[in-house]
Structure 1
Amino acid sequence: MPQELRKRLVRGLVVIAIVVAVALLGWTALRPDGLGDAIASGNGRIEATEIDIATQLSGRVEEILVDEGDFVEPDQVLARMNTRTLQAELSQAKAEALRARNALQTAHAMVAQSESNEASAEAVVQQRQAELTAARKRYERSNTLLQRNVISRQQVDDDRAAMQSAEAALAASRAQVSATQAAIVAARSQVIEAQSAIDAAEAGVARIQADLDDSQLRADRLARVQYRVAEPGEVLAAGGNVLNLIDLTDVYMTFFLPTSQAGRVALGDEVRLILDAVPAYVIPARVSFVASTAQFTPKTVETASEREKLMFRIRARIDPQLLRDHLEQVKTGLPGMAYLKLDADAEWPDFLKQNVLQVNVSS
């Protein structure tokens, strides 16, 4: 090979090497991983809180009103349990409550009757008191007249007997007053007992009604059905799962950062997410959890290099309103990257500023 050709070939290879080196340096500077110390990144996966819809009481599943993949709203009925036994118990409890209310009315009537009897007995006492006063006066007059030999002793004895009879009648009438007062106390006790029976019966009705309400399994938040764990006709024990839901108001990405970066993360820090499935969009989020203990941790950490192996779990939560605006696109399990500002004053790189999803204010 001529020497001139060899020189040209060498110069060409040098130029190619320089171009490749410049391109490599440019790609390294511009690629997402070249973020500097102010922004951390980590691989993660979209997750959501799972909710089990379970029965409070044992029983048979009557019907399930949703299918896997359906969206559900708060207070929506998802499934119903068989309630025929509860309905019979409710009817019985209502009958017991009605009987207790009737017993209360009877007890009040007994109180009124006993109070009326007491008033009559008090009137009799006053009458007997008046009769005793008259009889005593007659006896005293007769005894005076006897001293003067105006009347016979027989008359005096008759007046004394009449006075003693009046005293006995007064004592009897007073005993009748005491009896009626005791009857009033007993009747009032029956009122209290009847009222307690009403309270117990109404509590039983409320308990059974609560069980009936709980037999209609409802959603308590915006969610999506992930699994139907049971089917109509199955008999479940108390606490048996019927459905598994994904909470669409609590969707987040979990990722890991080393100790040197995790120590600079605070709750509420801004995070940007890019999913592998839709790399053209940037999803804003906020740090909602930072683990207090490290993972992937060696049993003993003695050197600085070993400490660098410590990884802390971080959770970035997506705004629930943003999720509501894009319900159809919310899917768990999608992998992606999380980017987190370690310095609040740092600027996001250009690829994290573009196509950032925004909350629809009008929704």
Structure 2
Amino acid sequence: MNIIVTREMVDSITKIIMKLSEKHIIRLMLIFVLVVAVAALIGYRYWDRDHEGELALTFYGNVDMREVQLAFMVQDRIVKLNVNEGERVTQGQLLGQLDTTRFESAVRELEAQLERAHQQLSELEAGSRPQEIRKAQADVAAQKASLVETEKSYRRTLELVHEKFLSPQTLDDARSRLDVARARLKAANEALSLAVEGPRKEVIAAARASLEQTEARLKHARKDLLDTQLFAPADGVIRSRILEPGDIATPAKPVFTLAKLEPVWIRTYVPETQLGRIVPGMQAQIRTDSFPDTVYPGWVGYIASTAEFTPKNVETPALRTRLVYQVWVYACNPSNALRLGMPATVVLNIEAPRTGTDIPDCAPAQ
């Protein structure tokens, strides 16, 4: 249908505009500007939705963290456990205690042996006492005097035998007594020499080695006594309590399972077609269903070198039959809101620098 604009109509519109006040004209201009701004915003949102897949990659996975199996280093009966499942623990916190009777007895026994070894070594290193040397000297003097008297007796016996007053057998007996006296003097001189020189260096070295051996055994016994206590190796949460007081603990039987609070990562899977767009250090945003309005900053920390079939727990049916690569996206978790196994959505910003070094600081999530 054609609309014919006549001169009369133009004149009428002109008269209407002329009649409008300045206030009405300003209102009309504001309305026009507002309409243009709304239209531009709607257009940008539609454009951003169409190009969203080009600016970011979205993947799905679950929160993962390292777990530690905690066990006593020695074997005995458990007398006390201080924590239960779900409790948070700090590094160095005492978690459990074994019966210490056997280990305390071993320590006391070795401490006594060590004291005895110290005394024996000190005695050897000190050498002979002055009294022992003087006694050895006195023994030498006594043997010399005995030898002199024996020699005189032998000479008298020899004269009497030559004069036929005594039998030759008597001379043989006197000669034997003389030989014995000489041997005793020699033995006394050797004893005096040993007393003056003191113990041999080999004997002292053997005593020192025995002392060091006892010290090593005592150190091991004290370590066993300390190992009757179980301490938390890191901050974390007790996932499971496997044994109870009264059970026999061994190094091969874990008592607790500890989930460490750091590091935390999202284990996700990337198809081969998108693997080339991901590099270590790439920035990421992580969201969970539990806290949908909270964004946890993160970064790509690990990319598998071999492909695998998509695990069944990945909630993307189209990917379950494809070969994918496992990727770990480390997350900042200052409030410990990310829990083991929690489903999470990961958005990777492919426009961020690909240097692999732009890793965000783990500040509290906004």
Bucket of the pairwise TM-score, normalised by the shorter protein: 0.5 to 0.7
Residue of structure 1 equivalent to 2:128:
112
- Alignment partner of 1:326 out of 307, 321, 335: 335
CA distance, structure 1, for counterparts of residue 305 and residue 75 of structure 2 = 40
Does 1:77 pair with 2:79?
A: no
Q: Alpha-carbon deviations, 1:145-199, whole Å to 9, x = none? A: xxxxxxxxxxxxxxxxxxxxxxx99xx7799369725984744333222222221
Task: Note closer, same or farther for the CA distance 1:230–1:183 as it changes in structure 2 (3 Å cut).
Answer: farther
Q: Is the 8 A contact 1:115 1:184 kept in 2?
A: no
After TM superposition, give the deviation of residue 26 of structure 1 in Å.
6.9
- Alignment partner of 1:337 out of 345, 359, 363: 345
CA distance, structure 2, for counterparts of residue 247 and residue 50 of structure 1 = 6
CA distance, structure 1, for counterparts of residue 83 and residue 352 of structure 2 = 45
Residue of structure 2 equivalent to 1:207:
220
> Which residues of 2 match residues 299-310 of structure 1 at below 5 A?
309-310=322-323
- Alignment partner of 1:261 out of 262, 267, 274: 274
Query: Which of these two proteins has the greater Rg computed from alpha carbons?
Result: 2
Q: Is the 8 A contact 2:282 2:353 kept in 1?
A: no
Q: Is the 8 A contact 1:270 1:340 kept in 2?
A: yes
CA distance, structure 2, for counterparts of residue 84 and residue 28 of structure 1 = 76
Gaps of 5+ in 1: 1-22, 129-167, 298-305, 347-355
Aligned AA (1:326)? S
Residue of structure 1 equivalent to 2:170:
none
Task: Note closer, same or farther for the CA distance 1:316–1:309 as it changes in structure 2 (3 Å cut).
Answer: same
Task: Note closer, same or farther for the CA distance 1:345–1:201 as it changes in structure 2 (3 Å cut).
Answer: closer
Does 1:196 pair with 2:215?
A: no
CA distance, structure 1, for counterparts of residue 81 and residue 93 of structure 2 = 12
Q: Is the 8 A contact 1:282 1:357 kept in 2?
A: no
Task: Note closer, same or farther for the CA distance 1:257–1:196 as it changes in structure 2 (3 Å cut).
Answer: same
Aligned AA (2:49)? L
Task: Note closer, same or farther for the CA distance 1:195–1:65 as it changes in structure 2 (3 Å cut).
Answer: same
Does 1:240 pair with 2:233?
A: no
TM-score with structure 2 length normalisation? 0.63
DSSP-derived class of the 2:280 partner: coil
DSSP-derived class of the 1:35 partner: helix
CA distance, structure 2, for counterparts of residue 35 and residue 360 of structure 1 = 27
CA distance, structure 1, for counterparts of residue 351 and residue 292 of structure 2 = 24
Task: Note closer, same or farther for the CA distance 1:114–1:343 as it changes in structure 2 (3 Å cut).
Answer: farther
- Alignment partner of 2:78 out of 61, 84, 88: 61
DSSP-derived class of the 2:240 partner: strand
CA distance, structure 2, for counterparts of residue 223 and residue 293 of structure 1 = 31
Residue of structure 1 equivalent to 2:237:
224
DSSP-derived class of the 1:106 partner: helix
DSSP-derived class of the 2:308 partner: coil
Q: Is the 8 A contact 2:79 2:98 kept in 1?
A: yes
Aligned AA (1:72)? V
DSSP-derived class of the 1:292 partner: coil
> Which residues of 2 match residues 100-139 of structure 1 at below 5 A?
100-109=117-126, 111-113=127-129, 117=133
CA distance, structure 2, for counterparts of residue 264 and residue 177 of structure 1 = 92
Percent identical pairs in the alignment equals 22
Q: Is the 8 A contact 2:76 2:249 kept in 1?
A: yes
Q: Alpha-carbon deviations, 1:96-118, whole Å to 9, x = none? A: 11111121122234x23499849
Residue of structure 1 equivalent to 2:15:
none
After TM superposition, give the deviation of residue 223 of structure 1 in Å.
0.7
- Alignment partner of 2:56 out of 11, 36, 39: 39
> Which residues of 2 match residues 265-304 of structure 1 at below 5 A?
265-296=278-309
Q: Is the 8 A contact 2:302 2:329 kept in 1?
A: yes
CA distance, structure 1, for counterparts of residue 131 and residue 47 of structure 2 = 102
Gaps of 5+ in 2: 1-41, 145-180, 311-318, 355-359
Q: Is the 8 A contact 1:72 1:219 kept in 2?
A: yes
DSSP-derived class of the 1:37 partner: helix
TM-score with structure 1 length normalisation? 0.64
Task: Note closer, same or farther for the CA distance 1:214–1:174 as it changes in structure 2 (3 Å cut).
Answer: closer
CA distance, structure 1, for counterparts of residue 49 and residue 55 of structure 2 = 15
Task: Note closer, same or farther for the CA distance 1:357–1:173 as it changes in structure 2 (3 Å cut).
Answer: closer
Q: Is the 8 A contact 1:73 1:223 kept in 2?
A: yes
Q: Is the 8 A contact 2:133 2:196 kept in 1?
A: no
Aligned AA (1:335)? P
When the two structures are aligned, how many residues end up with a matched partner? 269
After TM superposition, give the deviation of residue 344 of structure 1 in Å.
2.1
CA distance, structure 2, for counterparts of residue 281 and residue 99 of structure 1 = 68
CA distance, structure 2, for counterparts of residue 35 and residue 115 of structure 1 = 101
After TM superposition, give the deviation of residue 76 of structure 1 in Å.
1.0
Q: Is the 8 A contact 1:77 1:218 kept in 2?
A: yes
Alignment RMSD:
3.8
Aligned AA (2:261)? L
Q: Is the 8 A contact 1:224 1:246 kept in 2?
A: yes
Q: Is the 8 A contact 2:71 2:250 kept in 1?
A: no
Q: Alpha-carbon deviations, 1:25-83, whole Å to 9, x = none? A: 9779539xx63234211111111111111121222112111121111111111111222
